Structure 1
Amino acid sequence: MTITSKLQKTKRSSRSQYQKRLILITGNKGGTGKSSFARGLLDVYHHLNIACSAYDSDTQNPQLFRHYNKTIGISRINIALRGGADVLLDDLEQQKPAIALVDLPAGAGDSFERYEQDVQLISSASELGYRLTIVSVMSRVKDSVNALRLLMEFCSDRVDYVAVKNLHFGEAEKFKRFDQSRAKEQFLAIGGIEIVMPDLFDDTYDLIDEKDFTFREAVGATSSLSRANRSRVHQWLKTMELEIFKAGQYFGVSP
């Protein structure tokens, strides 16, 4: 085992004291698949009967709220507005969910930094028994790598990181800009875990979007999707669950 591997193992072990997780889903701009991953992750939590409070902070395109509020219940917050997300910490203290999931707006780095500095989110959550997991959904553009780098510079090892390669943009091997970057070296050195989000056929995705289905609703026999499309979504969810288990400690789940 290399020194880096030992360091990563030690860091992950030290984080096991946190039984609860506050998970922030980020992306450098619209269209990276950030909200699709948030929806898939929430679907997996709900399917596994894991208590999860979910928050949509995307004021322009609140996908999480649109697809899941009718079945699970999603709180709307605004981290860009001072006081607009106070309910998040209040809920952690009062409701104590096992998981709190927040879908941040695209390119929310500056807003997140101001919010964290205003309410000391990381340390306040830690006092309540929560460890933060920052999920960065990656495309293949330079800005995607830079956004993750800036987050790591701001948060350092006070949080855990998961990088999600969105295979809508090509196979995992195509993400050379990230794979060959200093940002990935830093990401691995502080214990980051890399997973993928499988691609879902565009026509199938569009049908789900048109009907505001949850992914789990889309696989139901009464969803009005064809058998082929239901099979595609079923396989997508199955693969998503396997990928999420790869970073299970950071997502608060285990196979």
Structure 2
Amino acid sequence: MKRFVMVCGDKGGTGKSLMTRALADRLRREQRTALMIDGDGEIGSLFQFYASLDEKGVPVADQLDNGVVPVRFTGAERERDQLLAAVDPGRPLILADMPAASLTQLEQFDHDTGFFAELERNDYRPTLINVLSPFSASTRTVREMIELAGKQADYVVAINQWFGDREDFFMWFGHGDSPPSPGRTMLPDYGGIEIVLPKLQAGVLVAIDELLLTFSDACVDTRLTTPQRSRLYRWMQAVDAQFDQAAEYLGLAGDT
């Protein structure tokens, strides 16, 4: 079965785009046949870092074969429909970086188009990835995500360690007499997987972003210092180990 992986959530600033870039980098390294979508359009992080460029370094008009298709999911109906039209090329894997408030928008989109039912009819199994910060506005979106698609999708929750360690996520894990978040309680019942998104040193990420490099390119770019490249390489190894725990859900299982 083909995979339609969406990194989504209603809360902005949790690390969704960083998560998507890391997964996109893994797909490129393994030369997997995938269609990548940036739900924020041409201003989105995935498009900026992983779009296919011409010899002048300008994004090419046709990104379908080996780039990132920009889709303004918050735009007009015609633009939102491109998310569902992404199944037409029949790629074995689709990866979409969804904008903030995407869970609410997906609910309306599913109501209007029967999105999840159409994915099933086209032999796609959706995976919804939710990247968490420790705050209540973020943790409660997991329950909303599961309630949106129920058994029609698979789920991956990534604890973003940029915000701290396990004890900082007490709203998610529970503490003292307080129970875990309802979303964490629901997750196993729906076959969901919990992983972590390891912390990348801020200075390394700033250097990569300033130069508009992919993670793989940054590992060998001498404009970064040796310690920066070493820290990035170790981070990529740690991220890959986490991705391996959810390989089937992320489209990383099996041959390329």
Q: Same fold (TM over 0.5)?
A: yes
| Residues 208 and 218, structure 2, Cα contact 8 Å, conserved in 1 | yes
- TM-fit CA distance, 1:191: 0.8
Look up the match of 1:4: none
- TM-fit CA distance, 1:236: 1.1
- TM-fit CA distance, 1:174: 2.9
Does 2:215 match 1:215?
Answer: yes
The residue type paired with residue 149 of structure 1 is: R
Aligned CA distance change for structure 1 residues 60 and 92 (closer, same or farther; 3 Å)? closer
Aligned CA distance change for structure 1 residues 44 and 141 (closer, same or farther; 3 Å)? same
**TM-score between the two structures when normalised by the length of structure 1:** 0.87
Look up the match of 1:43: 25
Unmatched tracts of structure 2, length 5 or more: 54-65, 174-179
Secondary structure of the structure 1 residue equivalent to 2:73: coil
Q: How many Å separate the matches in 2 of 1:117 and 1:84?
A: 16
* Percentage identity across paired residues of the two chains: 29
Secondary structure of the structure 2 residue equivalent to 1:83: helix
Further displaced range: 243-252 or 59-68:
59-68
Q: Which of these residues, 81, 89, 94, is aligned with residue 100 of structure 1?
A: 94
Matches within 5 A, 1:1-255: 19-59=1-41, 62-70=44-52, 72-80=66-74, 81-93=76-88, 95-179=89-173, 180-220=180-220, 222-254=221-253
Look up the match of 2:59: none
The residue type paired with residue 140 of structure 1 is: P
| Residues 165 and 195, structure 1, Cα contact 8 Å, conserved in 2 | yes
Aligned alpha-carbon RMSD (Å) = 1.7
Q: How many Å separate the matches in 1 of 2:82 and 2:222?
A: 34
The residue type paired with residue 7 of structure 2 is: I
Q: How many Å separate the matches in 2 of 1:183 and 1:88?
A: 26
Secondary structure of the structure 1 residue equivalent to 2:95: strand
- TM-fit CA distance, 1:135: 0.1
Q: How many Å separate the matches in 1 of 2:10 and 2:208?
A: 24
- TM-fit CA distance, 1:59: 4.8
Secondary structure of the structure 1 residue equivalent to 2:78: coil
